[in-house]
Structure 1
């Protein structure tokens, strides 16, 4: 490294344009030399950037580090002078124990084997319907619009018990990350969602049905908390999985040796999904704030220090995964941190896995000649807190 090993660094650290699936080389350099590195924040705070698998995992599993938004400093440019508010009622992913425990205990039991089995049948049908629609529109489509986004949207509607006639509200939410959505449209869409979710909670309390929202509506949570839980599950269950499906297909299509077993039907889809989750790590960073003085990685973390945890760098750590920058669908990628770790590990991770296990093989079986419809460098990438693609042009031979 050309700079002092003790000098603070700043975010963002940009990816290399022709390596869309890899972390920036600077992160690998930091991980190798100073996996605990001082980080300058726009508001003048000096915290930490953590890049090794072992240290990121240690922070995620240590309750001396808080997830509360109001304790954090934002590491991203343009946030100077902005005070991060506390999470609204029901958004338990930004709560510490014991508040977090109350919600987590209630919801963990709702993601049962029975419910996952019920949802799997629905996901298979949603996938088949999307493939039929692609076939009618093709042989050239945007995979995000026609496939990667509709499947998790319909799945989360199924999970929450949204009536078919109301799903247009959720379809509009799915548009929030499109390139042409204005700030005014974003406010309008989110206002409509909050209003709808509030009404849906009241309806589930009055007339329960066989779905997750009805189950939790029978608890002692307030209507405001239930509304927050619903919107949180929507946000975490829709955008992340849509990005993983689209970006996963993008990665496979640009690695012919890795996609070949799947095209033949003899790839281990469980291993494929875990490796894509590790390799892509679409949530680049997780943020924590120290609640006490903590010694970590040979450094003294002070009470109130904000730590930015690079999940992408951690999942490419050669001390944890051999040849980590290679996409290897035969790899046993157990232990990756794509869903986090510890008490805040993603509640819906099994549902996301089911969606990927169903959708990706079905797509490749239906369109065995599927390929990119644009040069890889022309695919518009999403950057920021969540990584993905805005559009993924694909084409196939119409038979």
Structure 2
């Protein structure tokens, strides 16, 4: 099936594209044509996805990668495929190992635990503001976006009052249709802002992650800027979309909403099930074979691209029976929404904490919470690399 190209539109808001789901029923790996004509692979099976993401014969560096999205080809022509210093997510060992080890020392259990009370305070403040304003409101702007934005700003030591520009630039960067010039301009603005912030923190350090990285003396300013860039964008884009899309899913599944609202023992598992069922990583991850690798009887040749379709992988019936349905009581561990292997999400415990606190707090404060529009009117982020809702009008 070498003529298959990757679809982005989901026919139903919570389900993967039908074309990809149908492929998984046929086989777990498929030939796929990338935007520049390169014929590589698409992985739709759970076991095969884990094997690819854990295998040392695949690279995450972008220099020789092929994009599945036509709009991104223009960016490659403008900028090339270099990896900015500090962008550890696009590096391989041992370079990646150095950054990962340093950052793991900052994402300590103590720091994450200490943040929980602050997450609860931030959540309650958002709910107070919602109650004072009265419905209807856009839950994305009133709740889903400010909670992780405030948390990541406090964790990193970024002034929250500066959020407007970097939130706007983040949207530009994850929009798959953004022109190359606009992407480069957004990259430049965020990087320049963070570089200036790092200069200030060198003079006036505080009890935050960026100050801790500066104090370690392991990274220069360019590396610090790159690391901060990744953490800032990823830290609010991902959880914000899980909070928005997850609430939308619960509002359209009243029995699941009631379980999350009324039974505290369900919440931890419910968060895992929402992560699995919704899988907001809409595109990728992608890897490049640096040697010939055999996965489940398929020979991936050196130089070939492999894309893992996580929304379909997380519904593989061999691992998740009846996975097409949302069930917050189902044991949902083992999903790959946070990835697998050496690039597994560094901030996953922080994201879990935010969701465990925010979902039940919202549902208990507003037990009559409901959509203020029809489900069909909710605008979906099919044009973004991170899936979710653009807006979620709600009332109570």
Are the counterparts in 2 of residues 13 and 26 from structure 1 also a CA contact under 8 Å? no
Stretches of structure 2 that go unaligned for 5 or more consecutive residues are none
Q: Secondary structure at the match of 1:257?
A: helix
Q: Which residue of 2 aligns with 1:324?
A: 323
* Counterpart check, 1:15 vs 2:10: yes
* Counterpart check, 1:287 vs 2:286: yes
CA deviation after TM superposition for structure 1 residue 332, in Å: 1.1
Cα 1:286/1:174, change in 2 over 3 Å: closer
Are the counterparts in 2 of residues 149 and 174 from structure 1 also a CA contact under 8 Å? no
More off after superposition, 259-268 vs 305-314: 259-268
* Counterpart check, 1:194 vs 2:194: no
Q: Secondary structure at the match of 1:331?
A: coil
Q: Secondary structure at the match of 1:388?
A: coil
* Counterpart check, 1:98 vs 2:97: no
Distance 1:80 1:200 in 2: 32
Cα 1:295/1:172, change in 2 over 3 Å: closer
Are the counterparts in 1 of residues 260 and 328 from structure 2 also a CA contact under 8 Å? no
Stretches of structure 1 that go unaligned for 5 or more consecutive residues are 1-5
CA deviation after TM superposition for structure 1 residue 29, in Å: 2.0
* Counterpart check, 1:54 vs 2:31: no
* Counterpart check, 1:38 vs 2:38: no
Q: Which residue of 2 aligns with 1:363?
A: 362
CA deviation after TM superposition for structure 1 residue 42, in Å: 2.2
More off after superposition, 169-178 vs 103-112: 169-178
More off after superposition, 247-256 vs 79-88: 79-88
Q: Which residue of 2 aligns with 1:394?
A: 394
CA deviation after TM superposition for structure 1 residue 32, in Å: 2.1
Q: Which residue of 1 aligns with 2:338?
A: 339
Normalising by structure 2, report the TM-score: 0.92
Are the counterparts in 2 of residues 178 and 390 from structure 1 also a CA contact under 8 Å? no
RMSD across aligned positions (CA): 2.2
Are the counterparts in 2 of residues 65 and 288 from structure 1 also a CA contact under 8 Å? yes
Q: How many residues align?
A: 388
Cα 1:210/1:389, change in 2 over 3 Å: same
Are the counterparts in 2 of residues 12 and 76 from structure 1 also a CA contact under 8 Å? no
Distance 1:30 1:182 in 2: 29
Are the counterparts in 2 of residues 157 and 170 from structure 1 also a CA contact under 8 Å? no
Distance 2:338 2:281 in 1: 9
Q: Which residue of 2 aligns with 1:3?
A: none
Distance 1:73 1:235 in 2: 23
* Counterpart check, 1:107 vs 2:106: no
What does 1:116-155 align with in structure 2 at a 5 Å threshold? 116-155=112-151
Are the counterparts in 1 of residues 36 and 70 from structure 2 also a CA contact under 8 Å? no
More off after superposition, 362-371 vs 263-272: 263-272
Are the counterparts in 2 of residues 43 and 79 from structure 1 also a CA contact under 8 Å? no
Question: Which of 248, 251, 254 does residue 252 from structure 2 map onto?
Answer: 254
Q: Which residue of 1 aligns with 2:218?
A: 220
Question: Which of 70, 75, 88 does residue 77 from structure 1 map onto?
Answer: 70
Are the counterparts in 2 of residues 70 and 85 from structure 1 also a CA contact under 8 Å? yes
CA deviation after TM superposition for structure 1 residue 262, in Å: 2.3
Are the counterparts in 2 of residues 271 and 333 from structure 1 also a CA contact under 8 Å? yes
Q: Give a deviation string over 1:79-137, Cα, whole Å, max 9, x none.
A: 45644512211110000011100100000121112111221122111111111111122
More off after superposition, 182-191 vs 345-354: 182-191
Are the counterparts in 2 of residues 119 and 158 from structure 1 also a CA contact under 8 Å? no
Q: Which residue of 2 aligns with 1:29?
A: 22
CA deviation after TM superposition for structure 1 residue 299, in Å: 1.2
Normalized per residue, the structure richer in helix is 2
Q: Give a deviation string over 1:32-55, Cα, whole Å, max 9, x none.
A: 212211111121211001100000
Distance 2:123 2:306 in 1: 39
Distance 1:70 1:244 in 2: 31
Q: Which residue of 2 aligns with 1:210?
A: 207
